Structure 1
Amino acid sequence: MKTLTPSYLKHQFLIAMPHMADPNFAQTLTYIVEHNAHGAMGLVVNRPQELNLADILEQLRPDEMPPASTLQVPIYLGGPVQTDRGFVLHSSECSFQATVALEGLSLTTSQDVLLAIAAGAGPKQSLITLGYAGWEAGQLEAELADNAWLNCPFDPEIIFGLTSDLRLEAAAASLGINLNLLTSQAGHA
Structure 2
Amino acid sequence: MTAEASSLYLPGSLQGHFLFSMPHMDDPRFAQSLIYICEHNESGAMGIVINRPTEMHLNELLQLLELPDREDHAAIEVYAGGPVQNDRGFILHSPLAKWDSSYVINDQLTLTTSTDILRAISENHGPEDFLVALGYAGWGAGQLEQELSDNVWLSCPANLDIMFRTPAEERLQAAAATMGIDLNLLTSQSGHA
- What TM bracket, shorter-length normalisation? over 0.9
The reply to whether residue 134 of structure 1 matches residue 138 of structure 2 is: yes
- What is the TM-score when the length of structure 2 is the normalising length? 0.91
Q: List gaps (5 residues or longer) in structure 2.
A: 1-9
CA shift, 1:154, in A, is 1.0
The reply to whether residue 11 of structure 1 matches residue 16 of structure 2 is: yes
Residue 40 (structure 2) aligns with: 35
Q: Which residue type is aligned with residue 21 of structure 2? A: A
1:55-114 CA-partner distances (Å, limit 9, x unpaired): 2122211xx663222211210000000001100001113332212222111111100111
**What is the alpha-carbon distance in structure 1 between the residues aligned to residue 59 and residue 164 of structure 2?**
20
Is residue 39–residue 105 contact of structure 2 (8 Å, CA) maintained in 1?
no
Is residue 15–residue 37 contact of structure 2 (8 Å, CA) maintained in 1?
yes
**What is the alpha-carbon distance in structure 1 between the residues aligned to residue 43 and residue 102 of structure 2?**
22
- What is the TM-score when the length of structure 1 is the normalising length? 0.93
| Superposed structure 1 runs of 4+ greater than 3 Å apart | none
**What is the alpha-carbon distance in structure 1 between the residues aligned to residue 45 and residue 165 of structure 2?**
26
1:163-189 CA-partner distances (Å, limit 9, x unpaired): 101110011000000000000000101
Q: Which residue type is aligned with residue 54 of structure 2? A: Q
Change (3 A) 1:6 1:106: closer
Question: Which of the residues 164, 179, 191 maps onto 1:160?
Answer: 164
Residue 60 (structure 2) aligns with: 55
Residue 83 (structure 1) aligns with: 86
The reply to whether residue 176 of structure 1 matches residue 180 of structure 2 is: yes
Q: List gaps (5 residues or longer) in structure 1.
A: none
Task: Describe the SS at the equivalent of 2:191.
Answer: coil
The reply to whether residue 101 of structure 1 matches residue 104 of structure 2 is: yes
